[in-house]
A and B are shown apart, each in its own frame.
Chain A
Amino acid sequence: QVQLQESGPGLVKPSQTLSLTCTVSGGSISSGSYYWSWIRQPAGKGLEWIGRIYTSGSTNYNPSLKSRGSISIDTSKNHFSLNLTSVTAADTAVYYCATEGGNSCLDYWGQGTLVTVSS
């Protein structure tokens, strides 16, 4: 069974870049027909889909990010990453990584990591 674990700084200053990594275990990130996705959730609020990357490297992003987000994949390290540039307090949230399998649902999730944007 695939397991996911987010990692990265818990505190980022405004205008800087938020960088998170999701390490995959229990399977190879380059095998199978999976999308590797990022979702976030501000405290006490709902879920926002950030974007996804396919094993081939093709990506989809939420336009609400206004081109600030990028997702990459590193098959040698079995992980994928999120970079979000020019962050503001509005980017403070719990960030989740997840897999999207053949059923187009987010079937495996990491535990989430809280990122706070503050000076």
Chain B
Amino acid sequence: DIQMTQSPSSLSASVGDRVTITCRASQSISSYLNWYQQTPGKAPKVLIYDASSLQSGVPSRFSGSGSGTDFTLTISSLQPEDFATYYCQQTYSTPWTFGQGTKVEIK
């Protein structure tokens, strides 16, 4: 299985901050990388697919980059509704695997 490792596991930030979350794959996955946002008690919601494509309806402050083994999710200006847990997921080879999550908390 392909292992996905996110860093950091948690971070504290303020509204308006620029936030960057990193995801590293245990082998090259080309651009087969998705990012999800999950708030407590809710199902995950896809933000970015294919490493850098913004899902329809997702605010443009979210962006993704990377290919191969190293990927980044950036929130350009953190909003109150962005405090959540973020997961990366590889869809290069089954079984699909997720990172362990990054919890973004209010500073």
Contact = CB atoms under 8 A, between A and B. Distances in A.
Contact of A106 (B34, B50, B95): B34
Contacts, number: 61
B43 A60 contact: no
Sorting the interface of chain A by its residue count into under 10, 10 to 19, 20 to 34 or 35 or more gives: 20 to 34
Contact of B49 (A49, A63, A103, A112): A103
Contacts of A46: 87, 98-101
B68 to A, nearest CB: 17
Interface residues of B: mostly helix, strand, loop or mixed?
A: loop
Contacts of B34: 104-106
Interface residues of B, number: 24
Contacts of A60: 94-95
A107 B91 CA distance: 13
Interface string A74-118: 000000000000000000000010101001111101111000000
B93 to A, nearest CB: 10
Contacts of A112: 43
Interface of B: 1, 32, 34, 36, 42-46, 49-50, 53, 55, 87, 89, 91, 94-101
Interface of A: 46-49, 51, 60-64, 96, 98, 100, 103-107, 109-112
